[in-house]
A and B are shown apart, each in its own frame.
Chain A
Amino acid sequence: MTVYHEHDFHEDDFLYAHESGKKIIDKSYKATSYLKDVWSNFKKNKGAIIGFVIIVVIILMAAIGPSMNEHTYKSIIHGHECLTPRVPFLEKFGIFDGSYMGKDYYAIKGASDYYYWFGADTQGRDIWTRVWLGTRVSLIIAFSAVVIDICFGMVYGLVSGFFGGIVDILMQRFAEILNGVPTLVVVTLLGLVLPAGMVSIIFALMITGWIPMERIARAQVMKVKEQEYVLASRTLGASRLAIIFQEILPNIFGQVIITSMLSIPSAIFLEAYLSFLGLGVPAPLASLGSLVADGYKSMTTFPHILAVPVIIMSLLMLSFNLFADGLRDAFDPKQLNR
């Protein structure tokens, strides 16, 4: 720590600015808004941009993909079961040419006039259509879950953590009781009681889904509220509500974003587990989870039925994570230069 030993200044330590022979012009920076700042920071993060683009593309495909060919999600062509992917043009290069174990499967099954871009499933349905439909369903479920997580869990955690005392104890007890009942039990029971469908699944996910977010929010509040700047605004007479939303909220935003982005995979996975147990979206409707669960059964024989939804699911997750990281850095610029 020798750095701090030298306290003496010498004459030649400093130079007069004008003696350097350059003109110094004060540069004035335009004041930028917070959001603009965020955007400019976000733009610098290549991963985040890629993630964002992929999300947009997948959402777009989820919207239009199912209607891009003549098949519907439940139309069946008998005899076309388990056809492998076949794409015009690409087939000339020996990939996606619809062959299976070295044989032209399309010719064998009498489907030479058809092109299933992602192949056909075990019932003779077009995987392309079903996968994009499933993506749509999964996204709706995931987004609903996240919105509910953010709105409810965050407010709950903030209030509980900030007020503390009896409020905290009561609120935590309630959350604990609710959370003490295993999610799977709640979801399964609700699945049995409610009519099968997306709304029921969203409702079931909602019942316990907000709790992890609530915990994070509360833990963060408890960490932050002891800090000097909160104390300062309290001393200055700021109202409690104002403190929660103005002082604490921005500080835990990074955490909230990360946790909500983690809610997306967990929502999709819970749906997938339900599908695996036969309690997912009602057939013939599909979700990414139910497609993976279905395809899993043919994993060793017709892997393409599994591969397509798994790849899209993973891509979606990857993009959400990259995007979330990008947002996090953008909202919290002090991270950037590290």
Chain B
Amino acid sequence: MKKLLVILMVLALLTGCNGGDKPTKEKVVTIQVPSDVISMDTQIATDGGSFSAQDMCMAGLMSLDENNLPVCDLAESYTVDETGTVYTFKIRENANWSNGTPITAYDFVYAWKRVVNPDFASEYNWFLETANIVGASCYDPDSGYTVDDLGIVALDAKTVQITLTKPSGFFLSMLAFPTLFPLNEEFVEAQGDQYALTVDNMIYSGPWVMSAWEANYSYEFTINDKYWDYANFKTDKTPDKIVFRVVNDTQTALLEYESGSLDTVNLSGEQVEANKDVDGFINRLSGYLFYLLININKTVGPTDMVNVNARKAMSYAIDREAIATVLNDGSVAAEGIIPFNLANNPETGVDFRVDNGPVVEYNEAKAKEYYDLAVAELGHDITINLIYSTDQGDPEIKAAEQIQYFLEKVGFTVVLNGKPKNTRLMMQRATLEGGKAEFDVSLTRWGPDYGDPQTYMDLFTSWQSTGGYNSTVYDDLVLHAEAATTDAITRWNDFLAAEKVLIVDDAAVVPVFQAGGAMLINPKIKGIRFHVAAVDSYRYIVFAD
């Protein structure tokens, strides 16, 4: 044993010296990420971290600029016909894959047909349907469509035409999402089931190439000299390498940031207090809106949530500002089910949240009034079984405890039932199966897939609602808004009205807070683009002057 120790010590010293002396002139930016990339296949990934990594090294027809607006990336130009449903994109002549083969219209056709193919069973195949592309529901065998019906055609090698079911204000923005990026058929098919599993099994269309990927440790990117805009993209301010380092623990991550080996670090609520005045502190608001999903059509156990006054009592009882203060990680109190900075009025450009004003209110007296009313109607006190995720970090747990406190203050009894997210989602899903789910309220969150209220509004229609909310008024408003003939401003107004029905009239869901993201970014770097609705983009990172 002693010998072993000696050997270990010597090894340690040797490796220590070797590594320590190695001088590196490379300009490296190191980004802290809490978890590893789940998949580099743009059509298999479902999580923000993977999409951000793909955004580094893959490109689509469009990308988003600093103001969240779509600009041409691989597309050189595009035209829309007078119906607003047929888009024709001209792909740049100099757009090539990192192995030198040209990026063509066929690459888009192949990729899009791959994702909706029922045999491929992508977990993101619904995305094209959301983008209103003709025949996109073909992943469902009962839809009557086949993959060949998908509304995408290659007119020639560099021209691709896409047909939508109806005009869409957010279609161009959706093109910046990795699921709609091209894939080279020849290369992907040659790799078979090994495609995108290692850096050697990928070719890249974006400004960077993935140069290393060590599972659960780090993944790295170096510049792609085949990128169409390489000449403009590469400056002396561009880093030689961007490293994403997986550090799950926020304390270690902060120590590491302070010692200079990380350039960004996510802060927990506890760390904000001591760091909010530090140079480089930013507070980016994320698009995740946490809300209480109410199991309205529950058929097992107590079914008190059917009572609208009980639900209203809950909504009035919660002091959302206080919860945001306790979380202290940049989260803000929710004012409705639509988050801040998600979408703007098509005419005035005003944020949805500003347009509709706060549709929830904290008022303890009113909460008690409604609670008493509900108790009188039900004939007994109300006990709520609240489920929430225990493996998704502190804010969710703290929020659950705070909600319990506020609800108990007005008379409810709240049983907290923490589960891992996967189990919670499973329970939530059971609300669809004849209301057999054994919970009353679920603290859940929704992250928008695109910058439009529809991403939230669709959730609560009677045909999709996981909580069992069923209101013809609400359904009609959403249907009207999404009809092909509805113009943009009517659509907008429909959504404004629908939110009020959902929350003020029926209290079918109780919005709680919009998740924040307090973090420190080394003042020496800039150019990270955070988007409320789309994936965060790190590809434009440069060193500051």
Chain A partners chain B: yes
Interface residues of A, Cβ cutoff 8 Å to B: 74-76, 78, 81-82, 122-124, 192, 195-196, 277-279, 282-284, 296-302
Asked, given contacts A278-B390, A282-B416, A297-B394, whether A78 binds B404 with beta carbons under 8 Å apart, the answer is no
Q: How far is the CA of A48 from the CA of B416 in the complex (A)?
A: 41
> CB within 8 Å of A: which of B388-407?
390-391, 394, 397-398, 400-402, 404-405
How would you classify the secondary structure of chain A's contact residues: helix, strand, loop or mixed?
loop
Question: Are B398 and A297 neighbours in the complex by a CB distance under 8 Å?
Answer: no
**A192 lies within 8 A of B417 (CB):** no
Q: Which residues of B contact A298 (CB under 8 A)?
A: 270
Residue B319 is within 8 A (CB to CB) of chain A in the complex: yes
B405–A300 touching, CB < 8 Å: no
- Known contacts A74-B405, A300-B251; is-contact A122 B270 (Cβ 8 Å): yes
Min CB distance B529 to A, Å, is 29
In the complex, the chain B residue whose C-beta lies closest to that of A75 is: B405
Across the interface, which residues of A come within 8 angstroms of B402, CB to CB?
A: 76, 123
Beta-carbon contact of B274 and A301 below 8 Å? yes
Complex CA gap A196/B255 in Å reads 34
Q: Nearest Cβ distance between residue A284 and chain B, in whole angstroms?
A: 5
B404 touches A74 (CB 8 A): yes
Partner of A283 from the list B255, B271, B401 (CB cut-off 8 Å) is: B401
CA distance A125 to B270 in the complex (A): 15
Known: A122-B270, A277-B391, A300-B255. 13 other contacts (CB 8 A): A74-B401, A76-B401, A76-B405, A81-B326, A82-B273, A122-B269, A122-B326, A192-B419, A278-B390, A278-B397, A297-B268, A300-B274, A302-B273
Q: Contact between B420 and A278 (Cβ–Cβ < 8 Å)?
A: yes
Interface check B250, CB cutoff 8 A = yes
**Given contacts A74-B404, A122-B398, A299-B251, is CB(A196)–CB(B271) below 8 Å?**
no
On whether the beta carbons of A301 and B273 are closer than 8 Å, the reply is yes
Residue of A nearest to B396 (CB): A278
Q: Which residues of A contact B397 (CB under 8 A)?
A: 278, 283
Give the distance in Å from the alpha carbon of A282 to the alpha carbon of B326 in the complex. Answer: 20
Q: Which of B438-477 contact A (CB under 8 A)?
A: none
In B369-411, the 8 Å CB interface with A consists of 390-391, 394, 397-398, 400-402, 404-405, 408
List residues of chain A with CB within 8 A of the CB of B325. Answer: 78, 81
Cβ–Cβ contact B322 & A78, under 8 A? yes
Judged by a CB distance under 8 angstroms, whether B45 is at the interface is no
Interface residues of B, Cβ cutoff 8 Å to A: 250-251, 254-255, 268-271, 273-274, 319, 322, 325-326, 328, 390-391, 394, 397-398, 400-402, 404-405, 408, 416-420, 423
Collect the chain A residues with CB atoms within 8 Å of residue B417's CB: 195-196, 282
Query: Could you tell me the distance between the alpha carbons of A192 and B401 in the complex, rounded to whole angstroms?
Result: 20
| B392 → A minimal CB distance (Å) | 9
CA–CA, A123 to B391, complex, Å?
Answer: 19
Give the residues in chain B near A76, CB-CB below 8 Å. Answer: 401-402, 405
CA distance A81 to B251 in the complex (A): 19
CA distance A75 to B406 in the complex (A): 10
Q: B418 contacts A196, CB within 8 Å?
A: yes
Q: Which residues of A contact B250 (CB under 8 A)?
A: 297
Cross-chain contact of B326 among A74, A124, A196, A300 (Cβ < 8 A): A124
A283→B386 CA distance, assembly (Å)? 11
How far apart sit A196 and B389, CA to CA, in the bound complex (Å)? 12
Contacts of B408 in A (CB 8 A): 74
B322 contacts across to A, CB distance below 8 A: 78
Please, which residues of chain B bring their CB within 8 A of the CB of A283? 397, 400-401, 416, 418
Partner of A278, one of B274, B328, B416, B418: B418
In Å, the complex CA distance between A81 and B401 comes to 14
Q: How far is the CB of B120 from chain A (nearest CB, A)?
A: 30
CB distance from A281 to the nearest CB of B (A): 10
Give Cα A214–Cα B251 distance, bound, in whole angstroms: 39
Residue with the greatest number of chain A CB neighbours at <10 A, chosen from B322, B326, B394: B326
Which residue on B lies nearest to A302, using beta carbons?
B270
Q: Which residues of B contact A124 (CB under 8 A)?
A: 326
Determine if A300 and B419 form an interchain contact, defined as CB atoms under 8 angstroms apart: no
Distance of A299 Cα from B252 Cα, bound (Å): 11
Name the A residues within 8 Å of B405 (CB-CB).
74-76
Give 20 pairs: A residue, B residue, CB < 8 Å, sorted on A. Answer: A74-B401, A74-B404, A74-B405, A75-B405, A76-B401, A81-B325, A81-B328, A82-B273, A122-B326, A122-B328, A124-B326, A192-B420, A192-B423, A195-B417, A277-B391, A283-B416, A297-B250, A300-B271, A301-B274, A302-B270
Question: Are the CB atoms of A284 and B401 closer together than 8 Å?
Answer: yes
CB distance from B364 to the nearest CB of A (A): 13
- In whole angstroms, what is the CA distance A124 to B420 when docked? 26
Find out whether the CB atom of B404 lies under 8 angstroms from the CB atom of A123.
Answer: no
Which residue on chain A has the smallest CB distance to residue B269?
A122
Q: For the complex, give the distance between the alpha carbons of A196 and B268 in Å.
A: 26
Contact of A282 among B270, B271, B328, B418 (CB under 8 A): B418
The residue on B at minimum CB distance from A123 is: B326
A78→B418 contact, CB < 8 A: no
What is the minimal beta-carbon distance from A37 to any residue of chain B, in angstroms?
41
- Whether B326 lies near A278 (C-beta < 8 A) is no
Q: Which residue of the partner chain, among A78, A123, A302, contacts B398 with CB atoms under 8 Å?
A: A123
A123 CA to B268 CA, complexed, in Å = 14
For A74, what are the chain B residues with a Cβ–Cβ distance below 8 Å?
401, 404-405, 408
| A193 nearest CB across to chain B (Å) | 10
